[in-house]
Amino acid sequence: MLEEALKKFEEMKELATLSRPGKQLGARKMSAREMCQKLMDPGTFVEVNMLVKHRCTDFGMENKGALGDGVITGYGNVMGRTVFVYAQDYSVLGGSLGLAQAKKIWNIMDMAARAGAPIVGLCDSAGARIQEGTDALAGYGGIFLRNTRYSGVVPQITAIMGICAGGAVYSPAITDFIYVVKDACMFITGPAVVKEVMGQEVTMEQLGGAEVQSKISGNAHFLVDSPEECLKQIRKLLTYIPQNNREKPAPIDSREVLYPDQDIADLVPDDSREPLNVYKVIKAIVDNGEFYEVQQHYAPNIVMGFAHMAGQSIGILANQPQFLAGVLDCNSSDKAARFVRFCDAFNIPLVTFVDVPGYLPGTQEEHKGIIRHGAKLLYAYSEATVPKITIIMRKAYGGAYIGMCSKHLGADLILSWPTAEIAVMGPEGAVNVIFKKDIASSSNPEETRQRLIKEYRDKFANPYDACFKHHVDDVIEPNETRSRIISALGILRDKKENVIWRKHGNIPL
C-alpha cells in the first residue's frame, strides 16, 4: 500500500515539475521554479502547494492548465535569512491569474507575514484569466488586500520578469520596490487596446517598456539587464533591510569595513554656483564606498539609496546639484517621500545631505501640483521617528530647506559645513525683493544692488546665524562628516519617540 502511494506521489510530483518550454519560456532562459531556486541559497528552496489545480470548466478550460496553476510558491534562505517567494510561469496559460493561482499567492503572503519575513514576487503574467470571470478579479482583490495590509509589516519586493498587463501590475505598484528586466514590459492595457480605444499606434516598449518605467513614469525602482542579474540584485537589497518592522537591519561585520580616505573638502567647488557631485561625497563617507541607489534613473535631482556606516544600515537622501541645480519638484518629492516612509517603517536611520536652492518654479510645476507633491516630503520627514541626521553642505533655501529634514521637521541632529548658506532665498532674489525701491531710487542702481547682495551674502552665506538661533547643532569640517554621523548613529541607536495615538494620518496625494 505504501509503495503504491509513494509511486503515485512520485508520478504527481514529476507531472507538477514537468518543464513546459516554449517560445515565451525560451526568451526568459530560466523557468519559474529555477528562478526561485536561484534566488535562494543553494539547496534551501522548499516549494509549497505544488499540486494545486484550477477548477474552471468553462470555455474548454477543463483540458487546459497544469498542476501548480501557473505559479511556483515557497520559501528558503537568502544569506541564511528566511525569505518567501512566488514566481509566475508564463508557459502555463500565459501566467494568467485565476482563483487557484491567487489562493497560492495569498497563502505564501500570509505565511510570510506570520513568519515575519520578506516576500519576493517574480511576475510574468498576461493579467486576469478571462475564462474565470469574477473569480479572477476576486483573486487580484485578495492579493491587493494583502499587499496593503502587510505594507510596513514585512518588506515586499517585486520583479517584472516578462510582459505584465492589467491587474498584474497593480500588486507590484503597492509593494516596496520594483525591479524590471530590460526586455520586460508593464502596462494597464496593451498596444492593441490602445489602438482600438485611442487610435494610437504604439509598441509595447514605447507604452510600458523597462526604460519607460524606470526613467519616465518612475514605477520601477531598479533597471537590470537580465533575470540572473535581477535575482542577484534582490539578494543585495536584502542585506540592507530587516526581516520585518519589529527588527532593525542586521549589521555587517565591522571587520569587513574599509574606511574611505578621500579628502571631502577637495570635492567641494570654491564657487557655490558650481554644481557639487553628491555621489562623490556619499561614496567618500560610507563603508567601502558602496552605495546601493534606488530609482537612479528617475528624478535624478534627488539621490537616494542604502549604505552602511560602521556596519550599520542607513537610508541616504541627497540633493544632486548636477541636475536642475538640485531643486525639489513634483517627481523628486514623490520619490523621496516614499523612500523616507519605507525607512521609517523598517527602522532604518535616515541621513540627509542638503544642497538645495528651493522648489522648482513655473506654471508647469504649479499645474502638476507642486504644492501637494512637495507637501508629501514634509509629511514623510515629520512623521518619521527613526534617527534623523542632516548634513547641510551648501545652499539650503526657503521651503526646500525645511523640507530636507530640517530641525523644524524633527531632525535629531543638524550638522553644517562652513560652506552652508541658509536663508529664505538666494542673495540676488532676496535683495531684489527687500530693496526694490532703494535700488530703483539709487543714483547707481547696479552698484547699490551689488553692495546689498554682498551684505546679504555676508550675513547668510554661512551657517552661523542659524547656529545662533539653534536651527543648526554644530558646524563641522567636511572631513569630520563620517565620524560625526557614526557617533550620532551610536547615541540614537535606541531612540524612543512618543507620538500621539492615531489610526493613521492622511498623507497629501
Contact of 295 with 304, CB cutoff 8 Å: yes
Average pLDDT, the chain: 90
Report the SS3 class of residue 3. Answer: helix
pLDDT attached to residue 440 = 85
Q: How many CB atoms lie within 10 A of CB 367?
A: 9
Catalytic residue among 166, 190, 209, 426: 166
Q: For residues 165 and 144, give the distance between their C-alpha atoms in angstroms, rounded to a whole number.
A: 15
Report CA-CA distances (Å) from 26 to 29, 30, 31, 86, 93.
5, 8, 9, 20, 15
pLDDT of residue 166: 84
Residue 98 in this model has a pLDDT that exceeds 90: no
- Rounded-to-integer distance, Cα 106 and Cα 113, Å: 11
Task: Say which of 167, 374, 398, 426 is annotated catalytic.
Answer: 167
Read off the pLDDT of residues 262-273 as tens digits, 9 standing for 90 and up.
789 889 887 877
pLDDT for residue 261: 67
In this prediction, residue 9 carries a pLDDT of: 66
**400 is annotated as an active-site residue:** yes
Helix (H, G, I), strand (E, B) or coil at 353: strand
Asked if residue 15 has pLDDT above 70, the reply is no
Total residue count of the chain as it appears in this document: 509
Say if CB 242 and CB 248 are below 8 A apart: yes
pLDDT, tens digit (0-9, with 9 covering 90-100), for 338-370: 999 999 999 999 999 999 999 999 999 999 999
> Which of 65-74, 91-100, 286-295 has the highest mean predicted lDDT (pLDDT)?
286-295
Phi-psi group of 363: left, alpha or beta (phi > 0 → left; psi -120 to 50 → alpha; rest → beta): alpha
pLDDT of 448 above 70 = yes
Give start and end residues of each alpha helix (H) in 66-121: 99-115
Residue 26's pLDDT band (boundaries 50, 70, 90)?
very low
Task: Tell me phi and psi for residue 120, to 5 degrees.
Answer: -115, 125
pLDDT for the residue 211: 95
Per-residue pLDDT at 25: 43
Count of CB atoms within 10 A of residue 433's CB? 10
CA distance 412 to 268: 25
Annotated catalytic, 403?
Answer: no
Radius of gyration of the chain (CA): 26
Q: Which of 152, 289, 399, 429 is catalytic?
A: 399
Let me know: does 171 contact 132? Beta carbons within 8 Å. no
Phi, psi for 44 (deg, rounded to 5): -105, -10
Query: What's the confidence (pLDDT) of residue 474?
Result: 97
Mean pLDDT confidence for 492-506: 92
Confirm if 194 and 202 have CB atoms less than 8 A apart: yes
pLDDT of residue 55 exceeding 80, the answer is: no
pLDDT (0 to 100) of residue 5: 74
Report the C-alpha gap between 84 and 101 in whole angstroms: 16
Which of the residues 102, 400, 423, 488 is marked catalytic? 400
- For 146-188, what is each residue's pLDDT tens digit? 999 999 999 999 999 998 988 889 999 999 999 999 999 999 9
Q: Are strands 177-181 and 185-187 parallel, antiparallel or unpaired?
A: unpaired
| Strand order, beta sheet including 81-88 | 46-48, 71-78, 81-88, 119-123, 156-160, 177-181, 222-224
The more confidently predicted of residues 379 and 28 is: 379
141 catalytic, yes or no? no
Q: What is the pLDDT of residue 23?
A: 45
For range 240-250, the mean pLDDT: 97
Of these ranges, 5-14, 227-236, 444-453, the one predicted with the greatest mean pLDDT is 227-236
Q: Is 166 considered catalytic here?
A: yes
From residue 58, how far is each of 71, 130, 208 by CA, in Å? Answer: 21, 10, 32
- Whether the pLDDT of residue 305 is over 80: the answer is yes
Three-state SS sequence of 223-281: EECCHHHHHHHHHHHHCCCCCCCCCCCCCCCHHHCCCCCCCHHHHCCCCCCCCCCHHHH
Q: Return the SS3 of 357.
A: coil
Instruction: Return the minimum-mean-pLDDT range out of 46-60, 363-377, 466-480.
Output: 46-60
Asked if residue 482 has pLDDT above 60, the reply is yes
Go through the domains of the chain in sequence order and give each one's CATH number. Answer: 20-238 (3.90.226.10), 265-420+463-491 (3.90.226.10), 426-461 (no CATH)
Percentage of the chain modeled with pLDDT above 70: 93
